[in-house]
Chain A
Amino acid sequence: MGISFTQSTITVDSDLTLEAGSLAEANILLELKDSTGAPYGASHPTVEFFATKGTITHIQDSGGVDSATVISWQNGEYMGFYMADSGVGQSIITAKVNGTLIEDNAIITLVPGTPDYKASDIEADPSTIQYQFNENSTITLTVVDSSGYPITDGGHAVSFTADPAGRFTNVIDNEDGTYTAYFSAQFEGDYKISAKVDTVDVNEIITISVKEEAASMENPVNGFRLPPGSGGAGGLPISLMGLSKLPYANWPNTRAARSLLREPLNRNGFNMAALMQQGIIGPLMPFAGNITGLIPGKKSMPISASSPSIGGGSSSLTGIEGK
């Protein structure tokens, strides 16, 4: 009777939970059986163990001889030695006998060790941002254990600081050992980002560069940013605004111009005639044509609950009359 790949079993004979990266060991027992469930010892197959995380250091048969090709095979028992030398997670232990996979498997759970706050990892994405777009960099802090493996739960008090001062949103606890905040700044420069975890300073300090990007075809809107200190354009020459470089045919550019010019202070600051002359904007002259219609600015229909079901819930408008 041959080996049954469904009856054979794999078990772990020590604690199923090990500290990740700790080099802690566990013993794995493979019991080969035939189709009746009885131990298989009729021949001496080649046995291999596999682990999705960690390492199988060696195997031996029940006689205690280290070898992948065991000698004392009569009782069908083979032992593998497992070492927890990798990161956090589940390690699935499987075995092949003469190249065929045993259906059974065993699971060892690798858990984080004691947090080492000082060793926490800080990353910024991107590490360079343009401030005129109010761009943000996503700052992610990962709490790790003494082996450098990420802690997998949340609940720590994490705070970020920048030198020189910048703006952070509230820190988000992702509850997986990582913490996220968004950073932005309003002035050019290199900002050094540091962090604290439960009042402990993190060793790593990263740098985010904040720059001003010149107007370009790709970023035509940029030209409409008011220069620092201009106080609503402040009558600066057009060339300083970068407007003359802009691809005015690009509609987002037109949209930005329209948005900007809604502010009277900006209109006063621009040399509108020069902008028109350069073809940056169209002719912004007063209307001098014929009006083809006028709808008075008073409401023409009563507002009531019985009005057509428009406006997303007219009932709440009942009794509120505009002038």
Chain B
Amino acid sequence: MSKPFSAYNPGKNYIFSPGHGPDTDKAEKGVTYSFLANSLGNRGGMIHLNELEQYQAKKNLSPQGRIVRGFRDWPSFEGYDLIATEGVYKKETTEKLTPGGLKWKATKGRVVVYEVHGPGGVDHQKTLEFAEYIKDYHLFEELILSYDTIDPNMKSVNSQVIVVMPEIKTIPHSNWAKNVRSEFNFMPLGNGLVEIPSTSPAEVFKQAANLSITKETTEEG
């Protein structure tokens, strides 16, 4: 029986708050993927996927459930909220998407975009930490630490974590490439998780272009 995914309310935050509330119970019952599938939508309205699309989208979303539950369980994230801002994408009939691109993969439930919020909104440092946590402890096809300055009223650079999963066939036979990169305003910033200062966009652009890497962590795997 085909049921549409729930309506996406663009005025509502879909928050996974670890450690308290009914969301935790839901996660423990193994329906975290429903949190993702049901709370993420197009730019508004309902998503209608046919049964086969829904089946595959849910399969592709299911590894994201591990990440959401991991966020809940990891002590360092206590008191922070995980917000999924983008998920399953239903393209317009006339819309063209780049094959193999992020939005194209999002139509198959393979992409979820997360933000880590603290008391003051997006927490720059915790977002980086979340990305590192995913990199170290989870399987994925691609992990992107994405910075942007889209919001003209934003007081600091926005940071998000984009997790791309492979087309899930069987767990061992999916492409868990674990590619990690960073981007700034949709342009490559470098391989790995690149940390930039949590300053205002204007300040970022004023700074000189000489890049200095001040921190190296962990050994190559």
List, in ascending order, chain A residues with CB within 8 A of B184's CB.
286-287
List, in ascending order, chain A residues with CB within 8 A of B3's CB.
169
- Docked pose: A248 CA to B45 CA in angstroms: 20
Which of A1-9, A13-21, A82-90, A301-309 lies at the interface?
A301-309
List, in ascending order, chain B residues with CB within 8 A of A252's CB.
10-11
Interchain CB contact under 8 A, B150 and A261: yes
Which of A47-55, A99-107, A200-208, A227-235 lies at the interface?
A227-235
- Docked pose: A282 CA to B196 CA in angstroms: 18
How many residues on B have C-beta within 8 angstroms of the other chain's C-beta atoms?
A: 101
List, in ascending order, chain B residues with CB within 8 A of A262's CB.
86, 101-103, 186
Tally of contacts, chain A with chain B, CB under 8 A = 277
Q: Tell me which of A184, A255, A279, A294 contacts B195 (CB under 8 A).
A: A294
Among B186, B197, B199, B216, find the residue whose CB has the most chain A CB atoms closer than 10 A: B186
List, in ascending order, chain A residues with CB within 8 A of B178's CB.
297, 299, 322-323
- Docked pose: A228 CA to B93 CA in angstroms: 8
Interchain CB contact under 8 A, B207 and A293: no
List, in ascending order, chain B residues with CB within 8 A of A135's CB.
45-46
Q: Tell me which of A132, A288, A297, A311 contacts B193 (CB under 8 A).
A: A297
If over half of A's interface residues share one DSSP class (helix, strand or loop), that class is named, otherwise mixed; here it is loop
Q: Enumerate chain A interface residues (CB-CB to B < 8 A).
A: 130, 132-136, 167, 169-170, 172, 182, 184, 186, 219-222, 224-232, 248-249, 251-252, 254-265, 267, 279-301, 303, 307-314, 316-317, 320, 322-323
Q: Tell me which of A226, A294, A295 contacts B94 (CB under 8 A).
A: A226
Tell me, rounded to whole Å, the shortest Cβ–Cβ distance linking A274 to chain B.
14
Interchain CB contact under 8 A, A290 and B136: no
B121 to A, closest residue via Cβ = A251
Interchain CB contact under 8 A, B217 and A300: yes
Tell me, rounded to whole Å, the shortest Cβ–Cβ distance linking A175 to chain B.
13
- Docked pose: A232 CA to B180 CA in angstroms: 28
Tell me, rounded to whole Å, the shortest Cβ–Cβ distance linking B2 to chain A.
5
- Docked pose: A69 CA to B185 CA in angstroms: 89
Interchain CB contact under 8 A, A288 and B208: yes
Among B43, B132, B178, find the residue whose CB has the most chain A CB atoms closer than 10 A: B43
Interchain CB contact under 8 A, B48 and A289: no
